[in-house]
């Protein structure tokens, strides 16, 4: 039987893979519910403003990619913080990753349940998507990173489907007013927080540098990916406003999906089923990466990072995540219920990790005097 090696490195991936990963990690479950959380037309400026702040954050993150510590992987973190602190960060990271996997997986399962299989037990859907993600992750980190090409090409074209909503008779410019807020409520501040959290995800790439070509200037690829994400958010939000209007936008939980149901095609009766299905490639990629992160964090905590990975260990980690997801799904995640506390938790966690990780790493490497 061949050795089960998940974290071996035989080659490095170019900056194009970084661009694909950053873009897809910024376009997960929150893109499906984003319009109903923003609602007001003036939040168009909010998306642009937060996109600029995100670019500043990515500039800080690029300093980490260019540092000597990043290429060393685990040893680089140990040199910066010490082994005990790295284990502490890994322990905290376990819960952050677990919540991230839970929210994006259950969110996607809820969409499938509501629009495709309303009579199917959602626990079977969770098992199905987790099994596919486990299979992809079991191929190792290298192949999982390359899987992002399939995830990107399978979903990046979807934005083109929404172009009919920008033209009459559906579109009306009156739905885009007011572009300047007449009042600013707590809901508006929460909308900005939601956008910032939606653009999170690139901070998880700090552990992937050993598998990336660190000689390339990553800022260029990070910038392109962030610009693509902001553009997609803008187009989908404007399309939602033109279709629903700000008065009715908050009534739909998944406006991005509901809009597609009104499009007619001479070939397909329900275009929304096709779009939801191809999104699975996107979610499988993200969950696969996070499964490898979770197992890696467990190995750091128990001090077995330098030992050979095992099928039993990786399977145990996946089963643990599956059990947690079933518990959340059965007792805490109520389909259609608003507000969803787990979504709120992920909004805050995503915003905090995206703000703290790049800044914290930049401060750490500057204190060491190597950048």
- Asked if 285 contacts 147 with a C-beta cutoff of 8 angstroms, the reply is yes
In CATH terms, the fold of domain 15-368 is Amino acid/polyamine transporter I (1.20.1740)
The ranges of the chain with pLDDT < 70 are 1-4, 168, 170-172, 174-175, 214-215, 265-267, 334-339, 369-371
pLDDT of 170 reads: 63
Q: Using CA atoms, how far apart are residues 140 and 311, in angstroms rounded to an integer?
A: 12
Query: At 13, is the secondary structure helix, strand, or coil?
Result: strand
Cα 146 to Cα 14, 136, 220, 279, 293, distances in angstroms: 10, 10, 20, 17, 16
pTM for the complete prediction? 0.91
pLDDT of 290 reads: 93
pLDDT of 325 reads: 92
pLDDT digits (tens, 9 = 90+) for 143-180: 898 999 999 998 888 888 888 887 767 666 766 777 77
Measured from the Cβ of residue 76, the count of other Cβ atoms closer than 10 Å reads 20
pLDDT digits (tens, 9 = 90+) for 210-256: 888 766 788 889 999 999 999 999 999 988 888 887 778 878 888 88
pLDDT of 225 reads: 93
Cα 252 to Cα 130, 228, 300, distances in angstroms: 28, 25, 43
pLDDT of 2 reads: 59
Domain parsing of the chain, residue ranges: 15-368
Phi-psi region at 73: left, alpha or beta (left = phi > 0; alpha = psi -120 to 50) = left
């Amino acid at each position: 039987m061949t050795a089960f090696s998940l974290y071996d490195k035989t080659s490095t991936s170019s900056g194009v893979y970084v661009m694909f990963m950053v873009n897809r990690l910024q376009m997960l479950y929150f893109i499906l519910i984003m319009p109903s959380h923003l609602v007001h037309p003036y939040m168009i400026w909010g998306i642009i403003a937060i996109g600029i702040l995100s670019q500043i954050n990515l500039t800080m993150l690029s300093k980490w990619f260019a540092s000597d510590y990043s290429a060393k992987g685990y040893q680089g973190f140990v040199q910066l913080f010490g082994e005990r602190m790295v284990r502490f960060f890994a322990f905290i990271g376990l819960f952050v990753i677990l919540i991230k996997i839970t929210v994006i997986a259950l969110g996607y399962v809820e969409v499938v349940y509501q629009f495709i299989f309303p009579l199917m037990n959602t626990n079977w859907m969770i098992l199905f998507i987790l099994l596919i993600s486990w299979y992809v992750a079991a191929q190792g980190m290298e192949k999982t990173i390359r899987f992002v090409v399939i995830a990107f090409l399978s979903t990046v074209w979807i934005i083109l489907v929404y172009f009919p909503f920008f033209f009459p008779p559906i579109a009306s410019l009156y739905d885009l007013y007011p572009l300047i807020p007449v009042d600013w409520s707590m809901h508006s501040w929460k909308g900005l927080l939601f956008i910032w959290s939606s653009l999170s995800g690139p901070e998880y790439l700090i552990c992937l540098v050993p598998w990336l070509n660190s000689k390339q200037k990553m800022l260029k690829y990070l910038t392109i990916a962030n610009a693509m994400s902001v553009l997609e958010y803008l187009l989908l939000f404007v399309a939602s406003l033109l279709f629903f209007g700000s008065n009715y936008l908050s009534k739909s939980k998944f406006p991005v999906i509901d809009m597609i149901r009104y499009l007619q095609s001479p070939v397909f009766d329900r275009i929304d089923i096709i779009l939801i299905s191809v999104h699975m490639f996107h979610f499988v990629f993200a969950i696969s990466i996070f499964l490898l992160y979770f197992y890696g964090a467990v190995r750091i905590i128990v001090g077995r990072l330098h030992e050979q990975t095992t099928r039993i260990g990786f399977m145990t980690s996946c089963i643990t995540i599956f059990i947690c997801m079933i518990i959340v799904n059965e007792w805490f995640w109520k389909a259609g219920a608003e507000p969803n506390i787990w979504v709120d938790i992920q909004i805050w966690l995503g915003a905090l990790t995206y703000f703290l990780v790049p800044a914290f790493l930049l401060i750490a490497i500057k204190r060491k005097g190597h950048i």
